[in-house]
Amino acid sequence: PLDQYKQNRRGQVYRCLVRDSSCIPLSLQGMYGRIYYSNISVCGPTIPRECKSITTYNGMCFEIDQSLNVKQPVPSSLEECPGQTDIAFLLDGSGSVNRVDFEKMKGFVKDLIREFLERDTKFAVAQYSGYCTIHFDLNTFNVMNRDYQVNSIAQQGGGTYTAASMKKVVQEVFSTSRGSRPKAKRIMIVITDGQSNDSGMLKNAASEAEAKNIIRFAIGVGRAFSSSSARKELETIASYPPSNHIFQVGSFQALDQIKDTLQNSIFPIEGYSMAVATTHTRQFTILGAPRFKHTGRVVVLPSRDTDKPIEFSGQIGAYFGAEVCAMDVNKDSYSDLVLISAPMFTDRDREGRVYVCTINDRMTLVGDAGQMGRFGTSLAPLPDLNMDGFNDLAVGAPLENDGQGSVYIFHGTSSGISKIKSQKISASDVQSGLKYFGLSISQTSLDMSLDSLPDLAVGSKGAVLLLRSRPIVTLMARVSFNPPKIPTNQVDCSTPLRNIAKVCFTMTRQTTDTKDLQAKINYTLTLDVTRQAPNYRAYISPKIREKRNTITLRLQEQCFSHNFFIEVGLKRRPPFRFLGFEINCGADNNCIDNLKVDFNFTGSSEVRVGIDEVINVTVSVESREENSYNSHVILKYPAGLSFRKFTILQGRVECNSSDSVGNVMWGQSDCTIDKPIFKSDSKCMTLLFGTFVFIKSSPHLFRNEDSTSYVNFTAGKNDLQKHVKQSFEVENYERGFNLTVIIKVPMKLGDKDIWADPNGIQIQGCQRHKNEEPTATEFVDQLQKNHAVDCSVANCGVFMCKSFIRNLDRNSYNITGNLSSQWIEQIGLESAQFNLVSSATIDYDRNQYIYYSSDSKNNPPIQKIETQVEVYPEVNFTKGVIGGVVGGLLLLALITAGLYKVIFITYLV
């Protein structure tokens, strides 16, 4: 798809011959022909079209028949450029909105306009209270001077007449004389903080807007809209359906939180992947939109109004819906499953998931642990490879094994898809040097090699490989003997009995291929397997009871004979008898044990893996009624613990332990108690010592040396800016794990912004959350004492940076922006030094990991970056100049007087 064969053409479809691996490009224009039963669709989803201010990417599909003839494209031409858009903002300027909130509302409008600039969009801004003022219509609003124009709007105050104001905007703004374009998409955004004074006219105002095809978005701010009547008013203002056109936030400060959602509602993100599912009653089109709200969404069309889209509520960036696939498992021509991939879903030790959805249930498929391979990048239904009556599934993971790639095969079952893979095809098993094997998989498994078996085409970087499936056979083995039974009329018991074992194999074809099959197998014949050596009686030759053989089988029964002997069973065995212990079970001669077992951990009740090296377990056992015989205590412990030793505190105890092997099974300690008789009313205690496998993660958080350490400002000047950079780094010296770096940056002191563009402060790889309010109420007094501008006195922006950090990985987080001087004046100091303090700490799954430090009480450290901000008074040279002039004149006068005296004395002499 990325093959650039002309200056403005990219993407080719090649016809490749299996016999010699040669490929020639197909021309997808001007080729027409008949359409047979089995056709191929070739689609280009990103064909560019240059528009006025943006480049759009459209899709076009071609249908290719079995003779490689091409039909006309669908659609026949590319979609036209996006239409024009006219947006009018109607702002609530009533008296119930305070001055600070009105400024935040204007900031929200400026941000939205900035996002829509490149979409051939015109804007108008109006304000309503007791009356409506159109500040700028679609002709007079100048986008090049947008911030100045919006900032110049003064709040009117008064009542809230929403309906009358909507009518005025509909009639006067959306008119050709005021700049409205006939073919433009018309949008009105109404922001209000409470119910209107003319609510009875809202329905009529909304009808007028509907008649002009004006799409209306209603934004309700504050707690006033918690009532049903206020909510009903928003539904009247907004277009249908209300769920897509109404937004509610708790305060004007929270308007930024809906900016992206509102933008996506006005200019929605289109689909990315598609599949068609067929049921007994109708067909469904399944569309995937992996970038929807940054998490992904899958929509099924046609759908009833009551149907809801399948939304993914997990990780941001998981790409839910990157691939969708409808699958017929039981071969009845109807879709049984819908498979949805999320190839960038990140677990602790793997990447990528495939969701298997049925009508009533959902399960997930995952790749191998330890592989960050983007499992689910490609999906393809397969025919029945193992001939069990159910179709199978192929899943691509192109980034496994350091980018070499793999393809997983999952077998279908009567209930859907098996969660356990049946096969994993690694790129290194197919051909050396492959990259991104499994990036794409053919959606049809045709017989390209003409062996009556399905073949699978798998794409990788710069190569397509054809994987041939193998025939499926069943192999049956049977053994017969001659004589079939050991004769009982044998008189001579001194000679071994001779016998013949006949071993037969039958190989049966299960697949539909017709070629001759043969298989090379190894088999081992073992005689008298129930007896341990050297006590077996059947042998092929003296002291040998096994026979190994290698044979080549074909599609008919083949038999092989082996002679063996059965040894005479006359051996002198000394007589023996067991002498047991007396068992006292009381008068009823019925033994009933009543054992009480208790155990506790000596020391802490919390196991801190990687910190505590030894754990002690005290086990006590008490026999409360009759004697107990051959009593055991079995203690099981998880992988990561290993048995060390045991110490007897009371009674007779013997312990045998076996630790976990391969971290799969649990370890086990089996201790016998007072063997053989644990008498009634007796007690036994033992102390077991275990050690830990040392497992830990060790992230280190520190400040980067290239952070800005010092800036200065002149007191009294509020329009100064200085560039500041603050950098944190996180490095992991142990195994990889998921962590979150939480960074807090001072944003506002009092009602003044600390940064020139606070909304522009973004940290790569981080999501900005709700700001954190300061704990101090009187920041002036506190700053005059300790001069630290941190989150205790300032409103701080909170950034959450989630990542999977591998061993020896280092992640950097940079805070960059222009520091403003407007916040300094309110402190009231003309000369001072302040420290602008940003902080960072780490968070993690505390149920799995523990941060160990001798002085932190297992709490992760808080790393701070301080940038010194010095404020000095403006230098006044007037007094210095006057003082210098006066001093100079006095000095000149003294020199003149001295010279006069010298001349006078000389004259006298």
Would you say residue 655 has pLDDT above 90? no
3-state SS assignment for residue 462 = coil
- Which residue(s) pair with 526 in the sheet? 546
pLDDT confidence of 386, banded at 50, 70, 90?
Answer: confident
Would you say residue 632 has pLDDT above 60? yes
**Residue at 460: amino acid letter:** S
| Closest by CA position to 116, among listed 54, 209, 182 | 54
| Closest by CA position to 864, among listed 846, 837, 888, 889 | 837
CATH 2.40.40.20 is held by the domain 273-468: no
pLDDT confidence of 746, banded at 50, 70, 90?
Answer: very high
Residue-wise DSSP of 103-143: HHHHHHHHHHHHHHGGGSEEEEEEEESSSEEEEE-TTT--G
Q: What is the pLDDT of residue 791?
A: 92
In angstroms, rounded to a whole number, what is the distance separating the alpha carbons of residues 854 and 857?
A: 7
In angstroms, rounded to a whole number, what is the distance separating the alpha carbons of residues 628 and 675?
A: 9
Mean pLDDT computed over 125-138? 91
Number of neighbours of residue 288 by Cβ within 10 angstroms: 26
**Residue at 283: amino acid letter:** Q
Mean pLDDT computed over 683-688? 73
**CB contact at 8 A, 196 and 233:** yes
- Which residue(s) pair with 186 in the sheet? 86, 214
The two tokens of residue 307 are 């149907």
The two tokens of residue 417 are 């898809």
Would you say residue 764 has pLDDT above 50? yes
Rg of the chain's alpha carbons, rounded to an integer? 42
The two tokens of residue 458 are 């798998």
Number of neighbours of residue 674 by Cβ within 10 angstroms: 20
Q: What b/e sequence results for 254-282 when a residue is b if at least 16 CB atoms lie within 10 Å of its CB, and e otherwise?
A: bbbebeeebeeebeeeebbbebebeeeee
Mean pLDDT computed over 630-657? 82
Per CATH, which fold does 595-692 belong to?
Answer: Immunoglobulin-like (2.60.40)
Q: What is the pLDDT of residue 95?
A: 85
Output phi, psi for 757, to 5 deg. -130, 80
Query: Strand 795-805 relative to strand 737-749: parallel, antiparallel, unpaired?
Result: antiparallel
Would you say residue 414 has pLDDT above 50? yes
Q: Is 875 left (phi over 0), alpha (psi -120 to 50) or beta?
A: beta
Q: Cite the residue boundaries of each domain of the chain with CATH code 3.40.50.410.
A: 85-266
pLDDT confidence of 907, banded at 50, 70, 90?
Answer: very low
**Residue at 734: amino acid letter:** E
In angstroms, rounded to a whole number, what is the distance separating the alpha carbons of residues 597 and 575?
A: 42
Would you say residue 416 has pLDDT above 60? yes
Of all helices (H) and strands (E), which one includes residue 904? helix 878-908
Would you say residue 135 has pLDDT above 70? yes
More confident residue, 770 or 226: 770
703-710: long-range pairs with CB below 8 Å, 24+? 703/727, 703/728, 703/729, 703/863, 703/864, 703/865, 704/728, 704/729, 704/812, 707/865, 707/867, 708/867, 709/866, 709/867, 709/868, 710/867, 710/868, 710/870
Q: What is the pLDDT of residue 30?
A: 35
Class of 699-872 in CATH = mainly beta
State the chain's mean pLDDT as an integer.
80
Would you say residue 31 has pLDDT above 50? no
In angstroms, rounded to a whole number, what is the distance separating the alpha carbons of residues 657 and 645?
A: 9
Q: Cite the residue boundaries of each domain of the chain with CATH code 2.60.40.1510.
A: 595-692
In angstroms, rounded to a whole number, what is the distance separating the alpha carbons of residues 828 and 813?
A: 33
Which range among 526-530, 694-698, 788-792 shows the weakest confidence by mean pLDDT? Answer: 694-698
pLDDT confidence of 14, banded at 50, 70, 90?
Answer: confident
Output phi, psi for 594, to 5 deg. -140, 90
Residue-wise DSSP of 297-349: EEEEES--TT---EE--S-TT--BTSSEEEE-SSSSSS--EEEEEEEEEE-SS
Distances (CA, A) of 731 to 514, 680, 809: 60, 61, 6
Q: Cite the residue boundaries of each domain of the chain with CATH code 2.130.10.130.
A: 273-468
Read off the pLDDT of residues 69-84 as tens digits, 9 standing for 90 and up. Answer: 777 676 666 666 666 7
**CB contact at 8 A, 303 and 310:** no
Bond from prior residue into 534 cis (ω within 30 degrees of 0):
yes
Q: Cite the residue boundaries of each domain of the chain with CATH code 2.60.40.1530.
A: 699-872
Distances (CA, A) of 837 to 759, 794, 862: 19, 10, 12
- Which residue(s) pair with 746 in the sheet? 796
Mean pLDDT computed over 415-424? 90
**CB contact at 8 A, 745 and 789:** no
Distances (CA, A) of 360 to 214, 363, 387: 40, 11, 27
Output phi, psi for 821, to 5 deg. -100, 0
Read off the pLDDT of residues 536-553 as tens digits, 9 standing for 90 and up. Answer: 788 888 888 888 989 898
Q: What is the pLDDT of residue 35?
A: 32
Q: What is the pLDDT of residue 503?
A: 92
**CB contact at 8 A, 355 and 364:** yes
Bond from prior residue into 676 cis (ω within 30 degrees of 0):
yes
Would you say residue 32 has pLDDT above 50? no
Distances (CA, A) of 507 to 469, 473, 728: 18, 6, 67
In angstroms, rounded to a whole number, what is the distance separating the alpha carbons of residues 635 and 821?
A: 68
Q: Which CATH number fits domain 473-566: 3.40.50.300, 2.60.40.1460, 2.40.10.10, 2.30.30.220?
A: 2.60.40.1460
Q: What is the pLDDT of residue 747?
A: 93
In angstroms, rounded to a whole number, what is the distance separating the alpha carbons of residues 611 and 854?
A: 11
The two tokens of residue 556 are 């008919």
Mean pLDDT computed over 374-402? 89
Would you say residue 909 has pLDDT above 60? no
Mean pLDDT computed over 382-400? 89
- Which residue(s) pair with 538 in the sheet? 566
Strands (E) across 446-511 are located at 455-460, 463-468, 473-482, 497-509
User: What CATH number does the domain located at 85-266 have?
Assistant: 3.40.50.410
Q: Could you tell me how far CA 699 lies from the centroid of its own chain?
A: 21
Would you say residue 166 has pLDDT above 60? yes
Q: What is the pLDDT of residue 605?
A: 61
